[in-house]
Amino acid sequence: MKLMRVGQPGHEKPALLDKDGKIRDLSAHVAEIGGAAISPEGLAKIAALDPASLPELSADERIGACVAGTGKFICIGLNYSDHAAESGMAVPPEPVIFMKATSAICGPNDDVLIPRGSEKTDWEVELGVVIGKTAKYVSEAEAMDYVAGYCVSHDVSERAFQTERAGQWTKGKSCDTFGPIGPWLVTKDEIADPQDLNMWLKVNGETMQNGTSATMVYGIAHLVSYLSQFMSLHPGDVISTGTPPGVGMGMKPQRFLKAGDVVELGIEGLGTQKQTFKADR
């Protein structure tokens, strides 16, 4: 299934995209796309519904973030061997973990705000993993049982804030609107192999990233298990699993985003995003 949330910020309705591309209203059946609704039992109940029996919503509605109630937005750094190489860094011996503030989350086509003082706002297409049930101390063999599905995640980054200011990466990752997710939460049964998905990103129509999740160093099952050793993962938590090469920081000369730039990105089977970047006043 392709689950989504549509409507203005704070007033999104839970919905699904049917096989004909029509948006169907789920609000009579679930309160939100999140929590119990994305547990294995909740997803089974949604799957049992006849999409044709659900009210159709306008295709012109704003698309919100694909999951609600995200308590943790966890990111994995340097998790693609080819991206680590372009960054001039070694592949880490264990996953590099950092957090992105949940206040950064926005819809997949919302405007992205370049923060005050920014000179190095960058792009990163990433495969997002949405947790469906609480995971604590889970093994790698059972880790996928805790995954509800996948989404496109744009890990927008301010590189000067991230690497040139004292402290950790979080301050360069957490600016308002720096976390577009969606358009859909695609349930895992629809994706045959999440470790073999094409990923791409364009800036003003020019292809910058053209990679594949096959070059991910630490795969999804490993990441879910690994993270669950340090913290409980809860329904609606999002793991953004790293980016392939082609980010602005890795270019020679480096390239960064400015007001008016349009970024488009997508992942095979998970949909696309499109954002206009604007100065945050």
**pLDDT per residue as tens digits for the range 203-228:** 999 999 999 999 999 999 999 999 99
The average confidence (pLDDT) of the chain is: 95
| pLDDT at position 247 over 80 | yes
| Tens-digit pLDDT profile for residues 116-142 | 999 999 999 999 999 999 999 999 999
* CATH number for region 73-279: 3.90.850.10
- Model confidence at 169, in pLDDT bands (50, 70, 90)? confident
Q: pLDDT tens digits, residue range 66-91?
A: 999 999 999 999 898 877 777 777 78
Q: In the predicted model, what is the mean pLDDT of residues 52-64?
A: 96
The C-alpha atoms of residue 124 and residue 175 are separated, in whole angstroms, by 15
* pTM of the complete model: 0.96
Alpha-carbon gap, residue 263 to 201, rounded angstroms: 7
In this predicted structure, what is the pLDDT of residue 115?
A: 96
Domain span(s) for CATH 3.90.850.10 in the chain: 73-279
